[in-house]
Amino acid sequence: AQTVTQSQPEMSVQEAETVTLSCTYDTSESDYYLFWYKQPPSRQMILVIRQEAYKQQNATENRFSVNFQKAAKSFSLKISDSQLGDAAMYFCAYRSPRGGSSGSARQLTFGSGTQLTVLP
Amino acid sequence: GAGVSQSPSNKVTEKGKDVELRCDPISGHTALYWYRQSLGQGLEFLIYFQGNSAPDKSGLPSDRFSAERTGGSVSTLTIQRTQQEDSAVYLCASSARGGNTEAFFGQGTRLTVV
């Protein structure tokens, strides 16, 4: 089974500064998808960015970018020019492209999350 | 509706009672997921439905938990004989076909067992 690890339970960043959230995963598959989701206090999970493992180019979405290191099984999220509205819980997630080598369904597996505080 | 809808938003129940949580996914989405999120924790996978295939129930924590999806649309998560440790936020998500497609989440049901 795949596992996703976020080793930073909490992080803080000064407004307008840059912060990087770490995520590592364990899989025996060669093709898969990775996601970062944001969960503000409203509980609504929002997709921040996604990466397909077969693409070497790191995904970017405005102020959000990833550093995808496939060999190291690392998928970190960089937030540039941090804003107060970025304060939330951030979850890294893994998904197989199909049923997976173990036959399990294509579920989304989440890490334990990183609580990001943005300081004014 | 435009998004994933869950009801009720909050539910307080007495220990030992049964509860039903409802999820109305985005129209046309073939995949539906249920997750449980305990206070300050990550998302624990419960069950996954994909089209007409048999659901993946591997995450259900005990036989007190069950879920069904009628007509490939609305899903109901049922917890029988609730226990205090069942208290959590239950999140539902749906997505279209395709591994890289975004999963859209509802706002969850906060279940409190007293």
| pLDDT value of position B52 | 81
Tell me, yes or no, if A57 comes closer than 8 A to chain B by beta carbon: no
Cα dist from A39 to B15, B20, B66, B75, B106, whole Å: 29, 24, 26, 23, 12
Which pairs from B28-32 meet CB under 8 Å and 24+ separation? B28/B96, B29/B94, B29/B95, B29/B96, B29/B104, B30/B72, B30/B95, B30/B96, B30/B97, B31/A106, B31/B94, B31/B95, B31/B96, B31/B97, B31/B103, B32/B69, B32/B75, B32/B92, B32/B93, B32/B94
| pLDDT value of position B1 | 54
| pLDDT value of position B13 | 97
| Pairwise CB contact (< 8 Å): A44 & B31 | no
Considering only CA atoms, which of A41, A10, A23, A42 is closest in space to residue A119?
A10
User: Sorting pLDDT into bands at 50, 70 and 90, what band is A107?
Assistant: confident
pLDDT tens column, A26-46: 998 888 899 999 999 888 899
Chain A nearest C-alpha distance from B88 (Å):
12
Residue of B nearest to A110 (CA): B43
Considering only CA atoms, which of A73, B103, A59, B58 is closest in space to residue B67?
B58
Q: Stretch B59-72: mean pLDDT, rounded?
A: 92
The amino acid at residue B94 is: S
| Chain A residues with beta carbon closer than 8 angstroms to that of B89 | 43
Q: Stretch A56-66: mean pLDDT, rounded?
A: 94
| pLDDT value of position A108 | 84
Phi, psi of B72, rounded to the nearest 5 degrees: 70, 15
Chain A nearest C-alpha distance from B106 (Å):
7
Residues linked to residue A115 through DSSP beta bridges, in sequence order: A10, A89
| Pairwise CB contact (< 8 Å): B48 & A105 | yes
Q: What average pLDDT does chain B have? A: 91
Does residue A120 have a cis bond before it (omega within 30 degrees)?
A: no
| Pairwise CB contact (< 8 Å): B43 & A97 | no
- Substitution target in A45, A48, A90 with the highest count of B β-carbons within 10 Å is A45
pLDDT at A101 over 70: no
| Pairwise CB contact (< 8 Å): A108 & B56 | no
Cβ-nearest to B48 among A42, A107, A115? A107
Which tokens sit at A102? 């173990």
Tell me, yes or no, if A90 comes closer than 8 A to chain B by beta carbon: no
| Pairwise CB contact (< 8 Å): B43 & A91 | yes
Tell me, yes or no, if A98 comes closer than 8 A to chain B by beta carbon: yes
Give B78's Cβ-side CA count (13 Å radius): 9
Residue of B nearest to A5 (CA): B42
pLDDT at A13 over 80: yes
How far is the C-alpha of B46 from the C-alpha of B36, rounded, in Å? 7
The amino acid at residue B51 is: G
Tell me, yes or no, if A107 comes closer than 8 A to chain B by beta carbon: yes
| Pairwise CB contact (< 8 Å): B89 & A43 | yes
